[in-house]
Structure 1
């Protein structure tokens, strides 16, 4: 029997005002219903915001070390439940067991990290130019943080928004993505068990137009952090900034890996294949373009095709090489881009077809003979589709890498130190990697994009995550 889940508002698990629900299903077995959730509306979101507003002052005045102990304990509780969280993530989102387990571990690590960082929040002391004067800064929470999170990393992304927001002393309202909200509910349960006061965290499920729109525009919300598509993100930005909210957006990507003629081709193929096909290509940092020097182009294409052909598919709980797309619509979008690429003249080297089996499975697709002006090279696909673009020089590779609207993650595979340093300086991306795949992030350093990939306001994770959820007062104390 499917789980019956509720909203979490003011420390209580409650039904929505509408009484309506929606279901999540297993993308590897779509007939299997995993859970039902409240189909909430604007009034439900308003109740959650009011609860957060009422709880924000007490939580903001709670000493940082005490807040940190609750976060650290939450990390320990999540660790104890890692196996069940991993299974739930697999069954709702479709990742393989290894991928889901890695994501759950990341959430655990994030709570422990910000649990320790909470003790350091306070301010700095400076030497005044005047006598008999203390000069210092005081860091304070913003108040209420509204969070809108995606389905593709359904526990890691909520964790790296919730944990710093709470560490900094803010109350939170979060709308998780409707395709895979279960692990956020489990996170709320762990925080409650760890001692988080009622109202400090509130979880409301439902449509973005109703719940997300209310969170973004409500006058009692002081900050909005959004991760999702660029189109939706821009709508959220307009709604949030109308009354001066602090806003942080992380959105789409069209991430390149440049393969130099000095690169080891087999190593480069491993790096690109892992970045392109991991998590079924459903990552904003996935490598969707390989920009390859013509001297190693043919060899590279053959090597990547070998790796794509070797990937096995199956239910994520069996830990295959690739799980399904999260939904039928995501699968159809990927298949549509495969058709578009062929219509525009790209050569389909392998894959690109839906598998003849239950679930939303697709063969990873590799395209050669791609021109940078093709849609397959310009638009985010969000599936296991790799466009390989030939170039004749390193200068041309940089030009092609930057010739898109996005600027999230980028990598280069090279044995030339000058090329590596030039890439860091010249590529338009917020995350730059040398001889590594475009995916994968460290939690204690800033994360964010450029151009249409980001609002370019505040970064996430590390100390930057705390900066977004905090405001600083400068105090002049003439004694």
Structure 2
């Protein structure tokens, strides 16, 4: 018997008005059906938005510490259910169980972090030119916030958007990605157990064109936070701009690693493989381009290929698996299409490049970890986001050219450098065009207490996580008081 899951609107689990369903299957084994989720309509989104509107006044008037208590409780419940949720995540989108469990633990930590925000200051006293007056600032919530999230981090990203929205006094309507909807629903079961008031949190599953568009265009929604593709992000930004509301977009990346001639090559190779191929390369901060100084190019390549050859691909629930499948058939097809483009454009395929179909791979969306050599910056695999386990090796004459090559893309999300030269570290920090800069560490790494966001086409230039989240989810009021 296949389980059916439901939308969560105004404190109740409800089927959609369409009575249509989407089947959710395991990308590691398509015979494994996790369940059905509602293929909801704009009417369902409108109901959720109305519920959030009704709840926003009382939630806003609640004290910060009182709102924080709900988040603390949610963290406790999520922590108690983390293994089930992590296992669901692995079955739903393919990430290995240790990675899924680590992400769920991170969700617990994010909830606790923002619960603490309820006790922190919300404004500043500013000297007035009038000695008999008091002038200060206070933070006001936006109201109803629309949250649209991707499938690749189905616990961390929804929570790092919802938790700050809630603690600062907003109510929420979320549309999780279809490829990770059951995981999101299980998070909401934890939030429900934490006792959030009716209408404060709402979830509607369905397509972006139907539910996502309804959230984006509804007049009652005062802010939109989105993580996903560049194309959809631009559409959301344009719609939000028409209505004059706040919007926050986190989109693509084409993240470089620079390996200098002074680098610890073993460390660089290990970090490049981890940053580029863990989670099957399905991270917005994943390493995609590997720019190596010519003096150490061949030696580094040999070390990298050796580590790639040791990767064990398989079902993420198996203890021996290091890399799971692509999250869906469409994602697999996209990765294979870029591998084909790389070959056609003249890059040399030196590892992987094929779909795995034999034996235990037969019913899954598996692809070999792939490495291209002799890549030039005009190739598609050097310019466009692949979102898969594909590394492009690019040779540079020196450190200065490495920086130029690294910046020669439309994106600017994350970047890392491996060097023992302190001046190169400082130059990299200054000159690289990326919102997340890492030295002697892999490109894929985000800490919940630090601002996160990109430059260029990677972002709308706002920042998520840490105290920076306050800037998006609130507006500043300047208050002048005179007796």
Flag whether TM exceeds 0.5 (same fold): yes
Aligned equivalents of 2:86 and 2:8: distance in 1?
21
What is the Cα deviation at residue 198 of structure 1? 0.4
Contact 1:26 1:93 in 2 (8 A): yes
Contact 1:312 1:322 in 2 (8 A): yes
CA displacement 1:341-373 (0-9 Å, x = unmatched): 011111111101111222011110011100011
CA displacement 1:400-449 (0-9 Å, x = unmatched): 00000000000000000001100000000000000000101110010000
Aligned equivalents of 1:183 and 1:128: distance in 2?
51
Kindly indicate whether residue 404 of structure 2 is the aligned counterpart of residue 399 of structure 1: yes
Counterpart in the other structure of 1:332: 333
Contact 1:70 1:194 in 2 (8 A): yes
Kindly indicate whether residue 482 of structure 2 is the aligned counterpart of residue 475 of structure 1: no
What is the Cα deviation at residue 126 of structure 1? 2.3
CA displacement 1:214-258 (0-9 Å, x = unmatched): 101111000000000101110111112111110000000000000
Q: Which runs of 5+ in 1 are unaligned?
A: none
Aligned equivalents of 2:2 and 2:302: distance in 1?
45
Q: 1:421 aligns with which of 420, 426, 431?
A: 426
Contact 2:92 2:183 in 1 (8 A): no
What is the Cα deviation at residue 121 of structure 1? 4.5
Aligned residues: 478
Aligned equivalents of 1:396 and 1:383: distance in 2?
26
Q: 2:364 aligns with which of 356, 359, 362?
A: 359
Aligned equivalents of 1:98 and 1:188: distance in 2?
22
What is the Cα deviation at residue 318 of structure 1? 1.1
Aligned equivalents of 1:172 and 1:259: distance in 2?
43
Kindly indicate whether residue 437 of structure 2 is the aligned counterpart of residue 432 of structure 1: yes
Counterpart in the other structure of 1:409: 414
Comparing 216-225 with 350-359, greater Cα deviation is found at 350-359
Counterpart in the other structure of 1:318: 318
Kindly indicate whether residue 30 of structure 2 is the aligned counterpart of residue 30 of structure 1: yes
Counterpart in the other structure of 1:110: 110
CA displacement 1:24-82 (0-9 Å, x = unmatched): 10000012110111100111111111110111111011100000010011011100011
Counterpart in the other structure of 1:242: 242
Counterpart in the other structure of 2:468: 464
Query: SS where residue 368 of structure 2 aligns?
Result: coil
Kindly indicate whether residue 375 of structure 2 is the aligned counterpart of residue 374 of structure 1: no
CA displacement 1:311-358 (0-9 Å, x = unmatched): 001211113111000011111111111111011111111101111222
Q: What TM-score, normalized by structure 1, do the two folds share?
A: 0.99
Contact 1:445 1:463 in 2 (8 A): yes
Comparing 183-192 with 76-85, greater Cα deviation is found at 183-192
The 5 Å alignment of 1:42-61 reads 42-61=42-61
Contact 1:18 1:40 in 2 (8 A): yes
Contact 2:289 2:392 in 1 (8 A): yes
Counterpart in the other structure of 2:209: 209
Aligned equivalents of 1:279 and 1:153: distance in 2?
10
Q: Which runs of 5+ in 2 are unaligned?
A: none
Aligned equivalents of 1:188 and 1:140: distance in 2?
25
Contact 1:55 1:200 in 2 (8 A): yes
Query: SS where residue 356 of structure 2 aligns?
Result: coil
The 5 Å alignment of 1:39-188 reads 39-188=39-188
Q: What TM-score, normalized by structure 2, do the two folds share?
A: 0.98
The 5 Å alignment of 1:271-282 reads 271-282=271-282
Kindly indicate whether residue 384 of structure 2 is the aligned counterpart of residue 383 of structure 1: no
Aligned equivalents of 2:311 and 2:245: distance in 1?
45
CA RMSD of aligned residues (A): 0.8
